[in-house]
Amino acid sequence: MNPRAQQGVWVAPGRVNIIGEHTDYNGGYALPIALPQVVTCRATVTDDGFVRVGSAQHAGETVCEPIDDLAESAVRGWARYPLGVVHEFRRRGHDLPGVVLEIDGAVPVGAGLSSSAALECAVALALRDLFGLDVDRTELIDIGRAAENSYVGAATGTLDQSAALLCTAGHALFLDFASGASAQVPFDPAGAGLRLLVADTGSPHRLADGEYGRRRSECEAAARELGVASLRMLTDPDQVRRLADPVLRRRARHVITENARVLTVVELLRAGRDPRAIGPLLTAAHGSLRDDFDVSTPELDAAVAAALDAGAHGARLVGGGFGGSIIALVKAVDTESIEAAIRRRFSSAGFAEPRFFHAAPSAGARRIS
């Protein structure tokens, strides 16, 4: 094995979803972009039968586990994500003699920007390339999803892994989760004098605490009662009236209307319309996530309201909800004033100091050395 094959460095980005939340596991549509912020994985082949994982963000916490015993590993926390990816490769019959994984993460953790999927995808791509495995990116997406679902215990779909592995610079990624198809959609807010502002509210974003899984179960229950394989098959919000349970009615209505919003945004962008035109759809999506899907928080609502009051064209929570971040489509020249407005709103409410990032459509996972 030549020296290049024995080690290397790979990166995978975080993501923000322009629109399309909680639609992936319902067979629907979504439109994410990759972030400039990435998780870096330096991987080195060993032959001792162990996987060693360290992180620049957790100095002195190197984890060392026998590869053959990963199914029974009691490791929890951040290290369980890369261990889960290694385990999933092994479970699928790929022989990995041993590996050292050194992680460095620039994607904010707990902000709803998919730092976990970025970690999974950086490791998955590294293992694929490092060991010369015949695994395409579609399977890498599924490996990351399986690691998060079965090994970590978060009942997520494949949106985040798809964004990390398939996004390209200057584009949003249109995903159809029923067919598995994807397409690149030109998205250039900067060219229109706009910026996609991300505000991390500082409220912890946790998916493995049961709420995300509960929403998924509620959607599945609604689909069963409506006699369809998935809520994707429904296009008329009035169809939810057939559901006796008001909670299931609201969950189903969000998915149906969110899918419609994604398709409208894609149509507007493909037609070359001014990106400002998608702003009201972002705001409508927040209302649906807040009122029908019950995944917002006081911090998220306050950030959205402050951004809109200060002149944003549209704003909404991003990711699974239950904390994390919002996105706001703003004039580039108004960015600082809108950030200041959100800070003032948070200060008056006694919330933690928010953090801000600027999201530009960036490249997906790749090897860099």
CB 348: neighbour CB atoms within 10 A?
Answer: 10
Tokens 């964004």 appear where?
163
Q: Residue 318 in contact with residue 310, Cβ under 8 Å?
A: no
CB 183: neighbour CB atoms within 10 A?
Answer: 13
User: What does each C-alpha distance from 94 to 68, 88, 127, 129 come to in angstroms?
Assistant: 12, 9, 10, 13
Is-catalytic flag, 68? no
180 by Cβ neighbours in 10 Å (0-12 / 13-18 / 19+) ranks as exposed
Residue 128 CB contacts under 8 Å (≥ 6 apart), including other chains? 135, 140
CA dist 88 and 369 (Å) reads: 25
- Start-to-end CA distance of the chain, whole Å, equals 17
CA dist 254 and 264 (Å) reads: 15
Residue 97 φ then ψ, to 5°: -70, -25
Q: Which of 129, 136, 142, 160 is catalytic?
A: 160
CA dist 284 and 277 (Å) reads: 13
Q: Residue 5 in contact with residue 132, Cβ under 8 Å?
A: yes
Catalytic sites, residue numbers: 160
